[in-house]
A and B are shown apart, each in its own frame.
Chain A
Amino acid sequence: MAKHETPLLDQLETGPWPSFVSDLKQQAEKRAKNVEGVEFQIPVDVVEDLLGVLELSYKHGRTHWKHGGIVGVFGYGGGVIGRYCDQPTAFPGVAAFHTMRVNHPAGKYYSTEYLRKLTELWDFRGSGITNMHGATGDIILLGTTTPQLEEIFWTLTHDLGQDLGGSGSNLRTPADCLGQSRCEYACYDTNALVYFLTNEYQDELHRPAFPYKFKFKLDGCPNCCVASIARSDMSFIGTWRDDIRIDQDAVNKYVENDPAYPANAGAFRGSKDWGPFDIEKEVTGLCPTKCMKFANKKLTIDNSNCTRCMHCINVMPRALKIGKDTGLSILCGAKAPILDGAQMGSLLVPFVEVNPDNDYEEITEIIENVWDWWMEEGKNRERLGELIMRQGFQRLLEATGIEAQPQHVSYPRTNPYIFWKEDEVEGGWERDVEEYRKHHQR
Chain B
Amino acid sequence: MAFISTGYNPAKPMENRITDIGPKDHNEFYPPVIQKNKGKWSHHEILEPGVLVHVAESGDEVYTVRAGGARLMSTTMINEICDIADKHCNGHVRFTTRNNIEFMVDSKDKVEPLKNDLASRKFDGGSYKFPIGGTGAGITNIVHTQGWIHCHTPATDASGTVKASMDVLFNDFQDMRLPAQLRVSMACCLNMCGAVHCSDIAILGYHRKPPMLDHEYLDKVCEIPLAVSACPTAAIRPSKQVLANGTEVKSVAVKNERCMYCGNCYTMCPSMPLADTVGDGIVLMAGGKVSNRISEPKFSKVVVAFLPNEMPRWPSMTSAITKMVEAYAADANKYERLGDWAERIGWEKFFEKCELEFTHHLIDDFRQQAYMSWRQTTQFKF
Q: Does B143 contact A (CB under 8 A)?
A: yes
Contact A282 B74 (CB under 8 A): no
> What residues of chain B lie closer than 8 Å to A57, measured between beta carbons?
148, 157
Knowing A265-B46, A269-B48, the reply to whether A223 touches B334 (Cβ < 8 A) is: no
Contact A119 B270 (CB under 8 A): no
Category for how many chain A residues contact B: 35 or more
- For B40, give the chain A residue with the smallest CB separation: A180
Q: Does A105 contact B (CB under 8 A)?
A: yes
Q: Of residues 84 to 114 in A, which have CB atoms within 8 Å of B's CB atoms?
A: 97, 99, 103-114
Task: Report the Cα distance A113→B334, complex, angstroms.
Answer: 43
- For A76, give the chain B residue with the smallest CB separation: B19
Contact A119 B312 (CB under 8 A): no
Q: Which of B144, B152, B178, B292 contacts A223 (CB 8 A)?
A: B292
Q: Does B353 contact A (CB under 8 A)?
A: no
Contact A61 B136 (CB under 8 A): no
| Nearest CB of chain A from residue B54's CB, rounded to whole Å | 5
| Chain B interface, number of residues (Cβ within 8 angstroms) | 146
Q: Which of B93-101, B108-116, B247-255, B319-327 contacts A (4 or more CB under 8 A)?
A: B93-101
Q: Of residues 116 to 149 in B, which have CB atoms within 8 Å of A's CB atoms?
A: 123-131, 135-138, 143-149
Contact B97 A22 (CB under 8 A): no
Task: Report the Cα distance A17→B260, complex, angstroms.
Answer: 34
Query: What string of 1s and 0s marks CB contacts (under 8 Å) between A159-173 and chain B?
Result: 011110000000001
Q: Does A182 contact B (CB under 8 A)?
A: yes
Q: Does B355 contact A (CB under 8 A)?
A: no
Contact A13 B153 (CB under 8 A): no
Contact B150 A99 (CB under 8 A): yes
Task: Report the Cα distance A44→B1, complex, angstroms.
Answer: 9
5 A-B interface contacts by CB (under 8 A)? A16-B127, A61-B278, A66-B270, A107-B94, A131-B71
Residues in chain A within 8 A of chain B (CB atoms): 8-27, 30, 39-41, 43-44, 47, 50, 54, 57-67, 74-76, 83, 97, 99, 103-116, 118-119, 122-123, 128-133, 135, 137, 142-143, 147, 150-151, 154-155, 157-158, 160-163, 173, 175, 177-178, 180-184, 186, 189, 191, 195, 198-199, 202-203, 206, 222-231, 262, 264-272, 274, 282, 286, 288, 308-311, 314-315, 317-318, 335-342, 344, 380-381
Residues in chain B within 8 A of chain A (CB atoms): 1-8, 10, 13-14, 17-26, 28-31, 34, 38-39, 41-49, 54, 62, 64, 68-79, 81-82, 85-86, 91-97, 99, 101, 123-131, 135-138, 143-154, 157, 159-160, 163-164, 166-167, 170, 173, 175-178, 181, 187, 190-198, 229, 232-233, 260, 262, 266-267, 270, 275-278, 280, 288, 290-295, 297, 299, 309, 311-313, 329, 334-335, 366-367, 369
